[in-house]
Each structure stands twice: as structure tokens, then as C-alpha cells.
Amino acid sequence: MSARNLQLLLETAYDTENPQVFEEGATNVYQKFEAEYRNYTKTQKPTQELNFLFERVRLGVAIAFVKAYTRLADNETSVEALQVLQDAIRAKSSKEIDKIVQKKIAVFDNLYHEIFVNEERQQILALFEATLDAGAKEELDELMIEGLELLTAIDFEHHAQQDDDDEPLDEDFLKSIQ
């Protein structure tokens, strides 16, 4: 079921039936992780492969949340953060993932600076943050379910239309609040 949840989460975030996040498909990535996790539960010996597969699943969940955020915020910082995660998903090891993300860590800090009063963006970033903090399969599974509930409740078309209707903010006003 969780393999399907990962696929649905990505489909919902990308608003397409076949998001190109994983070359081998989200379902296959999760199933491979699940198989390695079952081996771990029998032996109680974590492997580098298990850690790597966990990181890939976690990145997939994080990508879904940042993509959804990007659809709501449509700003340069969120697009850049999404690109960093997409680069990291193609890494061949946990160390390579860490290297890619650490190199651009400031991009993720900037996501929080660009939240204007928007409850849905805040909820998505809270799920993204929880994804980064997740340390267990069960946590990721729960986050996927929470994410699906949230993303299916958001009217992305309404937000896109609302953003188009927004007038540009007065530059003097922006300077006064900085």
C-alpha cells in the first residue's frame, strides 16, 4: 500500500499520472526499499543499501512536497530547491545525496523566508520538514498519507488563478517592512 501512496503523492503533487521523479518508477523504488527493510527486520543489521533506499524514498516524499509548494508559490527559490532535490534523487549513494544537498542547503532555508500568510504553504513546508526529520519507515508512510490528504484538499487551480489576479506589491511598502 505504501508503494502506491508514494506514487499517488507524486502524481498529486505533479498533477500528472506519470511524474518523472524516479527512472525506475516510484512504486519500484518503494518496493525495493520495503524488501530491504524486511531483510533488516529479520537480521536487525542495517546495511548501506537500506540507508540509501530509505534516503531515496525520503527524497521522493520531499520532492512531492516541494513540487506542491512550487505549484502554490511559483517562485524562484522553490524551483531551485526542487532542482536540488531532483539532482539528489539521481545520486548513487547516501554520501552523494548528502554532498549534493549540503552544497545547496541555503536554498532550503530561503523557502521559509518567502512564506507569505498562506496556511497551505505553511502546512506543506511543515510536512517537508517532517520528511527531512523522519528516521523510520513508519514515519515516511504516515507522512505520505498526511501529504495525500492535504494535497488532495488543495485547489491548485484556484491558487494559480488567484496569483494571476494579484496586483504587484508596492515597492515602497516592501521596503518599509524589511
How does DSSP classify residue 170? P
Q: What is the mean pLDDT of residues 79-94?
A: 95
Q: Which of 12-16, 26-30, 86-90, 110-114 has the lowest mean pLDDT?
A: 110-114
pLDDT at 172: 52
pLDDT at 156: 83
Residue from 117, 136, 169 nearest 61 by CA: 136
DSSP-derived secondary structure letter, 55: H
Res 91: pLDDT? 96
The pLDDT of residue 93 is: 95
User: What integer pLDDT is reported at residue 26 of this predicted model?
Assistant: 95
Q: Which long-range contacts (CB under 8 A, 24 or more apart) does 129-135 make?
A: 131/58, 131/61, 131/62, 131/65, 132/58, 132/62, 134/58, 134/61
Mean pLDDT over 53-67 rounds to: 96
Task: Kindly list the distances between the CA atom of residue 67 and the CA atoms of 36, 47, 62, 92, in Å, as whole numbers in the listed order.
Answer: 28, 30, 8, 22
Q: What is the pTM of this model?
A: 0.83
Encode pLDDT of 150-171 as tens digits.
999 998 876 555 554 444 444 5
pLDDT for the residue numbered 89: 95
User: Domain residues for 82?
Assistant: 2-177
- The count of structural domains within the chain is 1
The pLDDT value given to residue 167: 47
CA-based max dimension of the chain:
63
pLDDT digits (tens, 9 = 90+) for 125-149: 999 999 999 999 999 999 999 999 9
pLDDT per residue over 3-34, tens digit each? 999 999 999 999 999 899 999 999 999 999 99
